[in-house]
Amino acid sequence: MYWYIKYPLIAILVMGLLGLSGLVWRSCVKNSSETEEADVAEQVAKHLAKPSTPAEGQPSAAVVEPAQPQAPVVTPPVVVGVDERLNAARQQFDRGMLVAARQIARGVLKMEGVTEFSPVWLDAVKVINDVNKKLMNSSAPADEKKFYRVVKGDSLSVIASRHYTSIGALIRCNESLQRDDGKAPIIRPSQTLSYIQGTWSIRVSKQHFLLMLYLDNQLYRVWTVGIGRENRTPVGKFVIAGKLVDPAWTPPGKYIPAGDPENVLGTRWMKLTPIEGTDPSLEGYGIHGTTEPDTVGTSCSLGCVRLRNEEVEELYDFIPEPGGSCPPVKVTIEE
């Protein structure tokens, strides 16, 4: 009787325990699965939030960053056309910005389609000519101008010879040497003088009646000239071999002193001597002034190249005295 009651109770107890353990097992399994799912979701969220690193050679994904303040971009005005450039050059000249005006005008000469002696070329050269005339006749600074500090024992002739220039050019480039009373300028130790450094050369175009002065092979000044009538001005290469102030005129069989109404040479004379294969018999030609300024720009002389007196005086002053260690000034005359 006892065993009959005992064993059914034991069976019931065992079954209850088994059911409880299954319940616990299912609960554990369920909780573990939910935890894993939560972990996976969290990892996915983190992965999506993290910027991806592109594979090598692939473009990066866009990363949104806070906007940074940027400095405004200032674009300088660009002058494109020839007319605009020439106007800009003239405006700079009128404002006294000489070097800037010259730089713009030189840029016009290099523009595509601008040919030598064309109207545009002449307009640009006029600006360059006006600028350099001021630079040659004042102490206004420029790249080609250098400075010399006077020391005891100096003279203008010594300084001019040392720097391949002339007394006249030194006076023109330094207002401190210019005097209204006609007396010789005075220099003092520690005084600073400016001068133009470089090699001068000259080119004459007979067809265009122009004399062009170059400094280190760059066009610097231009003047209108008179040439020989009936094609009497020879072409070729020459050097300036001599300089005279108030020259006498010696046509064949005559001697006409300076100041004589028949003397047409004006106030300055620069002798031309042929070089580099030019016919050596072409002697007696020169560059000079004139007592007949209205003839400048025409074929009028016996073969020489003539300028107005005030213009030939300016050119004369910047041509170094021939001889010595100074390189000769070369002159090319072309049709």
Report d(CA 196, CA 315) in Å as an integer: 13
Q: Report how far apart, in Å, the C-alpha atoms of 312 and of each of 248, 302, 317, 323 are.
A: 16, 18, 9, 21
- Catalytic residue chosen out of the listed positions 28, 208, 304, 326: 304
Would you call 47 a catalytic residue per the annotation? no
- Catalytic residue chosen out of the listed positions 28, 288, 300, 326: 288
Q: Report how far apart, in Å, the C-alpha atoms of 315 and of each of 210, 223, 309 are.
A: 13, 10, 10
Report d(CA 140, CA 138) in Å as an integer: 5
Residues noted as catalytic: 288, 304
